[in-house]
């Protein structure tokens, strides 16, 4: 039993680490990409940061309440909710990445004034859709830290192997360490 708990926790930490790494990499890379596309202007990174935080302020409470509502109504299991949020986050990453590739190609080809509306639209799509992916990831992290780890801890405490298993505080600390490690290593890559 304890081996399966350790495997479960390893998978939770690994998934959280990969998600955190992707988030941190995206948050660090987008301003750099926008700065490299438009080297003489800080407008792109500035708009990115303002829109990113505004979107988070508005939509993180909505996303987290959606998770709670789905779990309370028993319409979806915990795994289904996480799978849905992960799939939606992946779709957002793909759309945002394609928009950034389009922006880089238009700028490399020497975009004309006629294409500026298209460029602005793709820039806005990259920022808004990327921020939506960030909201989904942040909401899933809240869900993981506030619900799943607590449920795992309750199951561990009910089992006969509770004395050898990590405590809730240790599990939360491991999640936080994983998050901080991802925050530190992502910009270095």
- Distance (Å, rounded) from C-alpha 33 to C-alpha 30? 5
In terms of pLDDT, which residue wins out, 84 or 110? 84
Helix ranges restricted to H, the chain: 2-37, 43-72, 78-108, 116-143, 149-158, 168-185
In terms of pLDDT, which residue wins out, 153 or 3? 153
Q: pLDDT, tens digit, for every residue of 125-143? A: 888 888 888 888 888 888 8
Whether 150 and 29 have beta carbons less than 8 Å apart is answered as no
The whole-angstrom distance between residue 40's C-alpha and the CA centroid of its chain comes to: 30
* Average pLDDT over all residues of the chain: 80
- Distance (Å, rounded) from C-alpha 144 to C-alpha 29? 25
pLDDT bucket at 58, cuts 50 / 70 / 90:
very high
pLDDT score for 187: 77
Mean pLDDT across the stretch 34-56? 84
pLDDT bucket at 1, cuts 50 / 70 / 90:
very low
Mean pLDDT across the stretch 97-113? 72
- Distance (Å, rounded) from C-alpha 178 to C-alpha 171? 11
Tokens 């820039």, residue located: 123
pTM exceeds 0.85 for this model: no
CA angle 16–19–23, rounded 5-degree value = 135
Mean pLDDT across the stretch 75-80? 72
Is the confidence at residue 108, as pLDDT, over 80?
A: no
Is the confidence at residue 53, as pLDDT, over 70?
A: yes
Is the confidence at residue 188, as pLDDT, over 70?
A: yes
Question: Whose CA is closest to 185, among 25, 67, 38, 9?
Answer: 25
């Amino acid at each position: 039993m304890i081996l399966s708990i350790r495997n479960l926790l390893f998978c939770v930490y690994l998934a959280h680490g990969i998600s955190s790494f992707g988030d941190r990499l995206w948050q660090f890379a987008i301003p750099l990409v926008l700065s490299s596309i438009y080297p003489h202007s800080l407008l792109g990174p500035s708009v990115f940061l303002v829109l990113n935080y505004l979107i988070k302020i508005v939509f993180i409470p909505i996303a987290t309440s959606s998770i709670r509502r789905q779990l309370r109504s028993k319409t979806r299991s915990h795994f289904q909710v996480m799978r849905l949020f992960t799939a939606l986050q992946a779709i957002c990453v793909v759309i945002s990445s394609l928009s950034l590739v389009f922006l880089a190609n238009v700028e490399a080809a020497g975009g004309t004034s006629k294409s500026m509306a298209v460029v602005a639209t793709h820039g806005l799509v990259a920022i808004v859709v990327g921020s939506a992916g960030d909201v989904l990831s942040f909401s899933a992290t809240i869900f993981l830290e506030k619900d799943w780890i607590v449920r795992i801890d309750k199951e561990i405490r009910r089992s006969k192997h509770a004395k050898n298993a990590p405590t809730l505080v240790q599990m939360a600390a491991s999640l936080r360490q994983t998050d901080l490690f991802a925050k530190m290593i992502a910009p270095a890559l």
